[in-house]
Structure 1
Amino acid sequence: MLIKNARILSYGIEEEIYDIFIEDGKIKKIAKEILNEKDEKIIDAKGMYVTPGLIDAHTHLGLKGDSLGEFYSEHNEKNSKISPHLRAIDAINPQDRTFKEAINAGITTCASGPGSANIIGGQFACIKTYGDVIDNMVVDPYIGMKAALGENPKKRYDTTRMGIASDLREFLLKCQRYLNGDGEYDKKCEAMIPVMKGEKPLKIHVHRADDIATAIRIAEEFNIKYTLDHVTGGAEILEYIQSKKDIPLLLGPSLGGRGKVELFGKSFNNVVKLAEGRDVCLITDAPVIPLQYLPICAGLAISKGMDYQKAFEAITINPAKVMGIEERLGSLEEGKDADIVIWENKPLLTIQDPVCVIADGEIIKGD
């Protein structure tokens, strides 16, 4: 496949006209002019904007069935508040219609995993949004281990924030001893080995400012890799968070109402403040915000003062880096997966559907 006259908008390339040659599901060549020597299918972009597939670093796609009610909700295990051995890929349902809605909107990749009812919820996966069988859609089955502080585990287990922090510390201490060879096989501790070794991050759900500080405190105590997910109350301790610029911030969902007290700081104005001077990811927490509205979230952040390129990278290369998949995804570069979206107008500035969506070199939408 050959895409001609593409106005490329990507990390590393900004609004330059190029041709893109795709072969075997990969981007083989990007150049000013590529001749059609093999009678390839040609898509003439006619100077329209061409971007990498968009990426969301925090969703529950396929785990909470659309319109199906609580019985079909698979994202929160109710039998154990510490459940690191659970894997998202064992419950993600690609037949849920939210996948088709996402891919048609140009979101080709996302993180999907357990919810925030449990202190340790299980293993998040990185998946493509196109396919029928999850095994063929997985980019990485274990990109991080979900943890949660605040209202959700507090409600589920009738405990306090002190109790949640204590249980988390106790379990991390147990995992630390297990890593050092203390004790017999334990499926929960075994699942935590990549976290304790610093190979995978603890993906910590936090909203309120004090929960954010607790997450940082505990992660630093155990010297583990981690991300802060949501961070809606982060602007209340902005100076403290900005003093720790190495922490990946996954900001959102910022669209919609405030369904609980700890969402007091939910706003795009606060997203802009938290993004100042650092790279961030913008997330939908789908289905909290349907995944197809990820570009609208980035557009709203821009409307409140976020730099355009920063917002664009917050839904492309930054989530790819956070998930450790930047060698394959997140930008248009030779050798990367051919996940490509064509837009009639510059994306994020107007509400629009893509003209064409390509995933792994296959045309999913458009012709």
Structure 2
Amino acid sequence: MKLKTMTAALAVALLAGCASTPSTKTATTAKPDLGFALDPYPSTYQRVASSAVLLQHATVLTGTGQRLEDADVLMRDGRIVAVGTALDVPADAQRVDATGKWVTPGIIDIHSHLGVYASPGVSASSDGNEATSPVTAQVWAEHSIWPQDPGFHAALAGGVTALQILPGSANLIGGRGVTLKNVSSVTYQGMKFPGAPWGLKMACGENPKRVYGSKGGPSTRMGNVAGFRAAFADAAEYMKKRKTAASKTDSDKDSGGKRDLKLDTLAGVINGDIRVNIHCYRADEMAIMMDLAKEYDFKIAAFHHGVEAYKIADKLAAEGICAALWADWWGFKMESFDGIQENVALVDRVAGGCAIVHSDSDEGIQRLNQETAKVIANAGRIGIAITPEHAIQWLTMNPAKAMGILEQTGTLEAGKMADVVLWNGSPFSSYAQAEQVYVDGARLYDRRDPARQPKSDFLLGQGMLGQDVMRGGVK
């Protein structure tokens, strides 16, 4: 699907240069909680109760870089209890024969618009871009989410157990994203991942200047950067006032001025409470955004799409920034023209590199394992061998790290959420299918059991409506 290729010699030369640059990013000092990330709409998620489950005799990819043969995975009370052989198994555990099959952590999609751009897509459910101002940091994607979007269940059948829902990319700063557990619910709060930090969505390049060029700006890339700087300058001043007010004695306390929802979000970014996700294609623009982050003292969690990330893989690793990328999308607009199919592999190969395969698609999210398989194949063509136990990290551990939920999920380790997929074989085969999907230890999807193939109320309602129409019961 591309015109441009990279020779093995070029790849080796690039990797040699990148690998010599160690990661120099140090942990930042914790900043005081000034209330910028208080949640008036907290999660109401409750895991589905289930008995203990033992997946037996599988090839297990732990998500930590390990591959275990003929191994077992024990889940109980929503958590991973143990992974390995000769486990101490409770008598009441359900035993699943996984001989010849593979087990992985649940897939995590760091970049999805399910629920805010529902599938099937119609204008009535197009709720991802608040295209009324270049900076709309005050809006939260969670308030647009339609939990009945059939795309959630389609993603579950592809092994996706958690996902970050982001606003669209029309704006310089489009608002807060939210992390969900991929479960059925009437409300989005029932899907909201407990304790997950918000992610701010920002966008470089063509989109903001195209959308706002006829609306008073910005209409150029320099206008984009000026808009970012102005927004964060306002937020830094707001943050300073709030901090000063909070430090006063009780007798002298004031509110620090009127609360501003837009500046709350941006101050939360500077304060380290909200993680930054930036839609950015070109290497030069990613470098500018890294300088912006230094100017206003915030941390970028991940660049998204980043078709030129391979050009600055060393810089990304040095700053501890992940790159959430497509396997081979390119060329659909000028800023995406210089994409290569080896992008993910070259970002990954740098010491300290953090590569992620993401979807940005209601269809792609259903087969992220196969997108990753394409990366493995393309890397092999230039002499980079990637094992399944390594590649699975692009779908599980690394997105969990960038989203701030790695302590809870993303790997098969004792004590973590039992978000697990049982595959019919290697997940990176073109014949791969997720046979069973567990969320917090509950089998929510089973390819062989229609009772565990959930459908949204929307689809159920459509089916009932169709039956009534055929009977002449609807006028």
Q: TM tier, shorter chain?
A: over 0.9
Residues 322 and 286 of structure 1, relative CA distance in 2, 3 Å threshold: same
What secondary structure, in the 3-state scheme, does the structure 2 residue paired with 1:180 have? helix
**1:25-64, CA deviations, whole angstroms, 9 ceiling, x for partnerless residues?**
2122334123554322221112421111011111112111
Work out the percentage of aligned pairs sharing the same amino acid: 30
Q: Aligned ranges for residues 45-124 of structure 1 at < 5 Å?
A: 45-124=98-177
Which of 61, 77, 88 is equivalent to 1:24? Answer: 77
Q: How well do the aligned residues superpose, as a CA RMSD in angstroms?
A: 2.0
User: 2:267 is matched with which residue: 188, 193, 202?
Assistant: 193
What's the counterpart of residue 190 of structure 2?
A: 136
Any idea what SS the aligned residue of 1:2 has?
A: strand
Aligned residue for 2:395, secondary structure, equals coil
Matched, 1:160 2:160: no
> Partner amino acid for 1:114?
P
Does residue 364 (structure 1) correspond to residue 444 (structure 2)? The answer is yes
Q: Distance in 2 between matches of 1:28 and 1:8?
A: 15
The correspondence for 1:173, drawn from 209, 233, 236, is: 233
Task: Give unmatched runs, 5+ long, in structure 2.
Answer: 1-52, 214-218, 243-256, 450-475
How many angstroms apart in 1 are the aligned matches of 2:197 and 2:371? Answer: 26
Aligned length: 363
Residues 256/213 of structure 1: CA separation in 2 closer, same or farther (3 Å cut): closer
How far apart, CA to CA, are the structure 1 residues paired with 2:360 and 2:288? 22
Question: Which is richer in strand?
Answer: 1
2:39 aligned partner = none
Q: Does 1:264 align with 2:334?
A: no
TM-superposition CA deviations, 1:126-173 (whole Å, max 9, x none)? 112222232122115643211111111111100111111101101101
Q: Distance in 1 between matches of 2:88 and 2:262?
A: 55
Q: TM-score, normalised by structure 1?
A: 0.92
C-alpha distance in 2 between matches for 1:120 and 1:311: 31
**Quick one: distance in 2 between partners of 1:187 and 1:171?**
13
Give how far 1:67 is off. Answer: 2.8
1:312 has 2:392 as partner = yes
Aligned with 1:242 (options 314, 318, 323): 314
**Aligned match of 1:145:** 200
1:335 matched to 2:415? The reply is yes
> Which protein has the larger Cα radius of gyration, Structure 1 or Structure 2?
2
Name the aligned partner's letter for residue 116 of structure 2: L
Partner of 2:355: 280
Question: In the aligned structure 2, how far is the partner of 1:149 from the partner of 1:272?
Answer: 23
